[in-house]
Structure 1
Amino acid sequence: MVVGDASLDIDTLVIGAGPGGYVAAIRAAQLGQSVLIVDKAHVGGVCLNVGCIPSKALISAAHQYESAKHGDAFGITAENVKVDFSKTQEFKNSVVKKLTGGVSGLLKGNKVQVFEGEAMFINQNEARVFNEHESPRYRFKNCIIATGSRPIELKPFPFGGRILSSTEALSLPELPSSLIVIGGGYIGAELGQMYSKFGTKVTIIEGADTVLPGFDKDMTQLVAKNMKNTGIEIITNAKAESAEQTDKDVTVKYSVNGETKEVTADYLLVTVGRRPNTDGELGLDLIGIELDERGLVKVDHQGRTNIPHIFAIGDIVAGPALAHKASYEGKVAAEAIAGLPSVVDYKCIPAVAFTDPECATVGYTEQQAKDKGYKVKSSKFPYAANGRALSLNNADGFVKLISDEETELVLGCQVVGIEASNLIAELGLAIEMGATLEDIALTIHAHPTLGEIVAETADLALGHPIHIMAPRR
């Protein structure tokens, strides 16, 4: 239902209430625009409801279970540690409910009208929004399209029954005894490790030569090592070909080096990427919105499409399908509508995989910096030389700083290890501010913390590390 007594005229129509759309709507309202946001599902989109948040809740629960079972190093022994997965799912659902309820409250507090239903363009200035009960027609001055993406469904592996997308994999009523994962990217790796920690026998089939393709190989090797130590079977350079399911299990045929093999498990999870939601009944073709060959909306540096008053953000435009990217673009688009000089700058958008250990990267990798023509200095400091990491009994990992050898400007950073997802924020700020190695090294970091590793890496790059020996020149 529409909240409040809205007229049929609106300043800004936002289509999609995920982390891009709801942020755009709130920012637009803050800037004085009358805003209507439309979504056929619940506010929060994929991220809050069936993506980022529920997956991290389950991953956290898996870490807790593993810690309870393996406290020997601390002198702690627990017996008869069990998982009540229905309660684990209740915890996950409670987290989702709190956050989506919070977003609804924020929209209401900012006087954003909310319509639960679908939108369809009638022309470049009008759209009909509809559900089972009503179908009002709105005229808008500006529009922000934020319809997100959905899991790619492969023809040999149609979703249904025992073949799951990430959505179904997050809502299983009980722990499977075995699971096959096709696709070892960050979603497959995260969910595969989560279920493995709960005791599921996991097999990952990946077409590339490593899990987490796209991340630094020094990082992915640590993740792969940890996966194997917990019993995950990783099959790389493999091509999944077909699947047959019964009411009890599913069998996948795949090939490696021309040899056909098969594996059977309770369920098959397919995580081979996501497809932009630019097809369907929205009517982008009707009003002439230009798409590229991948179905992504073409936009400029403010998110503006070829129709000047219509913007597009998030997973339906080029770039990584990340919630924080969508939120960032949503702010830029709302501010552009308000006449502010906001533009997107993607050099500081971090990427994080909540694997074990966590992987995080921001800015350039070493190779990317070289490709840009920099004379690159790469410096790597190990977690094992950090007191806090040792006291946590979690000393696998490193921080790698990429800098310009001539100016000492920080160009990029890769972190693998516990709390990498939090450590990367400091490095993103450093790159955004144009910080040098010395700026980081001269910043006093509290002791004993993992953050000290960042400063130690800068000291190493400057040639005077304290807690490891300087490499011979």
Structure 2
Amino acid sequence: MTELRCKVLIVGGGPGGYVAAIRAGELGLDTILVEADRLGGTCLNVGCIPSKALIHAADAVHALTEPHALNALGVSIAPPALDYARTIAWKDAIVTRLTTGVGALLKKAHVRSLRGRATLLDGKSALVHADTGEQRIHCEHLVIATGSEPMELAALPFGGDILSSTHALALTDVPRSLAVVGAGYIGMELGMAFAKLGTKVTIVEALPKILPLYDDELTQPVARSLADLGVETMLGARALGFADGALKVANAEGAGTTVAADKVLVAVGRRPRTSGFGLETLDLAMAGPFLRIDERCATSMRNVWAIGDVTGEPMLAHRAMAQGEMVAEIIAGERRAFDHLAIPAICFTDPEIVAVGLSPDAAKAAHGEILIGLFPFRANGRAMTKQADEGFVRVVARADNHVVLGIHAVGAGVSELSAAFSLALEMGARLEDIAGTIHAHPTESEAFHEAALKALGKPLHI
């Protein structure tokens, strides 16, 4: 057995783990990264990146199969044909390019990357099982970045025609019909993508609304888009089981019914990956199913750190990346603490949703009187020229000092506005700061400017 020693051992090569490793290596820390599968973790390989590739392909197909928008531009085309195998090959090529890039960045930072399954022996050592043999690694600092995995339902265990999001992204053919159990962001994103690819999609959600983490004002445009796509939505309904091409459902009234489906996508959330690698030997403090951490991502054991999905909500790749970068810098001797004020949440539905900071209700509960400015894209010239004038930008601020508390948007491509929204909250912007910043014309970002003006009571274009 090979014995290795390092300053920092990182278990998990997803967004949090590999970013922590790169930064640690850049700071001169002797670092080993252990990943059981492929670098990049769920996000890069079977989550964020491939799902967005599929969504883009679906958007392209939908634009060609719904010619009314193109006809308005004076464009007419022959009926398109979809070669889904080539679509998947294109998606996989993007993933390969990015995972190869992560490996190159780790090598450049002088990080030792090991492909194998780690078993923690204590807070200072781990055993790595690889095809080439076993290696015992001794470290001064241990970083746990094992991520999360899809949750399954007892009545709908994964396998065969019952899919997790990972399985859905690996399909080699577009299903004729698909039942999606769960109307959170994963179910909604993939459900809408497959609907655009020609699948008959039915969404089954136990709660009384879609996308329950967002307020109704943000989700109404998405609900209208679902209807336009012909997606049937069953709210307040529970999935009971699947057999012989039929999903058994108890509807909102409690009556039993069935949904015909070739495949069932179970998208009811994700759970932290805390088993299978010896975590129980560390006897760490837990916060429910998650590892408990403080504002520095330190666990209850000295020099044992945890980052990303295994530490709780929000389970977002960019949160994990920020935590990973911070932990590496703390180990290197810098003074850092994690600020969760401005973590953008994005739903890549049609239209997209962005939320940063507090919702209007949460802002009012926390700060009392508030100001709200909302500017619709139907009054934005750039949105009109893109045939994408559904949605709006909304700014929420304190009434007394105009400090911005939350920024939200729904519309085509609004994910690209998220950095501006986050920067405003991160820097403690007031409405006057946004209103006094010149926003380029014609761009969708003007809606951000106009929303701030509206909140101040001096709108220009509405």
What TM-score bracket applies, with the shorter chain setting the length? over 0.9
Structure-to-structure mapping, 1:21-420, within 5 angstroms? 21-69=17-65, 70=67, 71-245=70-244, 249-280=245-276, 282-293=277-288, 295-420=289-414
Partner of 1:471: none
SS of the residue 1:135 aligns to? strand
Code of the residue aligned with 1:412 in structure 2: it is G
Q: Which runs of 4+ in 1 moved over 4 A?
A: none
- Kept after mapping to 1: 8 A contact 2:187/2:267: yes
CA distance in 2, matches of 1:410, 1:328: 22
Code of the residue aligned with 1:11 in structure 2: it is K
CA distance in 2, matches of 1:219, 1:74: 29
CA distance in 2, matches of 1:358, 1:312: 31
CA distance in 2, matches of 1:347, 1:422: 19
In structure 1, stretches of 5+ residues that fail to align are 1-5, 469-473
Deviations 1:93-139 (A, max 9, x none): 01101111110110111111011111111122111111232111011
SS of the residue 1:390 aligns to? helix
Structure-to-structure mapping, 1:3-18, within 5 angstroms? 8-18=4-14
- Kept after mapping to 2: 8 A contact 1:252/1:264: no
**Alpha-carbon deviation of 1:157?**
0.3
TM-score calculated relative to the size of structure 1: 0.95
**Alpha-carbon deviation of 1:60?**
0.4
CA distance in 1, matches of 2:323, 2:123: 21
**Alpha-carbon deviation of 1:55?**
0.2
SS of the residue 2:367 aligns to? coil
CA distance in 2, matches of 1:153, 1:364: 30
Code of the residue aligned with 1:182 in structure 2: it is V
- Kept after mapping to 2: 8 A contact 1:241/1:255: no
Pick closer, same or farther for the CA change 1:251–1:237 going to 2, 3 Å. closer
CA distance in 2, matches of 1:103, 1:467: 45
SS of the residue 1:425 aligns to? helix
- Kept after mapping to 1: 8 A contact 2:391/2:409: yes
SS of the residue 1:346 aligns to? coil
User: Greater CA deviation, 89-98 or 130-139?
Assistant: 130-139
CA distance in 2, matches of 1:108, 1:254: 53
Deviations 1:151-181 (A, max 9, x none): 0011100111100000010111111111000
Among 447, 450, 458, the residue aligned to 1:453? 447
CA distance in 1, matches of 2:314, 2:337: 17
Code of the residue aligned with 1:283 in structure 2: it is G
CA distance in 2, matches of 1:335, 1:316: 20
**Alpha-carbon deviation of 1:318?**
2.2
- Kept after mapping to 2: 8 A contact 1:243/1:253: no
- Kept after mapping to 2: 8 A contact 1:182/1:271: yes
Partner of 2:457: 463
Q: CA RMSD for the aligned pairs?
A: 1.3
Aligned length: 459
CA distance in 2, matches of 1:160, 1:196: 22
**Alpha-carbon deviation of 1:7?**
6.4
TM-score calculated relative to the size of structure 2: 0.97
SS of the residue 1:305 aligns to? coil
- Kept after mapping to 2: 8 A contact 1:253/1:260: yes
CA distance in 1, matches of 2:247, 2:238: 14
Code of the residue aligned with 2:24 in structure 1: it is A
- Kept after mapping to 1: 8 A contact 2:330/2:336: yes
**Alpha-carbon deviation of 1:27?**
0.8
- Kept after mapping to 2: 8 A contact 1:180/1:205: yes
CA distance in 2, matches of 1:348, 1:437: 16
CA distance in 1, matches of 2:246, 2:115: 37
Among 422, 434, 449, the residue aligned to 2:416? 422
Code of the residue aligned with 2:300 in structure 1: it is N
Q: How much identity, in percent, do the aligned residues show?
A: 42
